[in-house]
């Protein structure tokens, strides 16, 4: 198994995922700024790319890791901070990704039936950005708890 490159005890995959997620979090803010400056088409491309890229990262890296290292130990061992942190991160992360996909479908396509479409886009989008960043912080905390020896006690 390949070692990571961030100088912690993590393998390669969590290091790559951490950098990707931080980059996507920043890019999401750039996309928000694009909307505020009324450049809606680049905004739509930017946010859509992030949501879909994140979906790939979740499917390829995060879900297998969660299943291998955490899933078997919950709910019995949720009192242990490293399992609790990873589980809360996974739960809120799933909600954020699903909400983002919903906005993507509602705003960018005509796939959803009329009654499922949203009208208050701004409120939805801002809520998802806030939730996304909360999940990002939880993800960084999970990484630190699992892979950085000096921060674990």
Partner 1 sequence: MRRSVSVAVFITVEILVIAALSTGRQNAALAAQQKTEAAEVKIDNFSFGPATLTVSVGTTVTWTNRDDIPHTVTSADDPKAFKSKVLDTDEKFSFTFTQPGTYPYFCSIHPKMTAKVVVQ
Residues making contact with partner 1 (CB under 8 A): 1-3, 9-11, 68-69, 72-73, 77, 80, 82, 145-147, 149, 152-153
Provide φ and ψ at 27, rounded to 5°: -60, -35
Q: What is the 3-state secondary structure (H, E, C) of the chain?
A: CCECCCCCCCEHHHHHHHHHHHHHHHHHHHHHHHHHCCCHHHHHHHHHHHHHHHHHHHHHHHHHHHHHHCHHHCCCCCCCHHHHHHHHHHHHHHHHHHHHHHHHHHHHCCCCCHHHCCCCHHHHHHHHHHHHHHHHHHHHHHHHHHHCHHHCC
Nearer to partner 1, 1 or 113 (CB): 1
Nearer to partner 1, 39 or 80 (CB): 80
Closest approach, Cβ 135 to partner 1, in A, equals 22
Closest approach, Cβ 89 to partner 1, in A, equals 16
Nearer to partner 1, 132 or 146 (CB): 146
Nearer to partner 1, 9 or 37 (CB): 9
Closest approach, Cβ 146 to partner 1, in A, equals 6
CA 10 to CA 139: how far, in whole Å? 14
- Degrees (nearest 5) of the Cα angle 53, 151, 87? 45
Closest approach, Cβ 134 to partner 1, in A, equals 24
Closest approach, Cβ 83 to partner 1, in A, equals 8
Nearer to partner 1, 80 or 126 (CB): 80
């Amino acid at each position: 198994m390949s070692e990571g490159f961030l100088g912690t005890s993590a393998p390669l995959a969590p290091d790559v995922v951490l950098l990707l997620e931080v980059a996507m979090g920043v890019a999401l803010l750039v996309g928000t700024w694009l909307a505020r400056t009324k450049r809606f088409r680049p905004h739509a491309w930017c946010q859509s790319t992030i949501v879909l890229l994140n979906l790939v990262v979740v499917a390829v890296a995060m879900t297998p890791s969660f299943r291998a290292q955490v899933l078997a130990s919950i709910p019995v061992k949720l009192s242990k901070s490293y399992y609790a942190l990873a589980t809360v991160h996974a739960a809120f992360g799933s909600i954020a990704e699903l909400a983002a996909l919903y906005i993507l479908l509602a705003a960018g396509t005509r796939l959803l039936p009329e009654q499922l479409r949203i009208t208050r886009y701004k409120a939805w989008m801002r809520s998802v950005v806030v939730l996304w960043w909360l999940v990002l912080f939880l993800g960084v905390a999970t990484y630190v708890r699992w892979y950085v020896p000096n921060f674990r006690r």
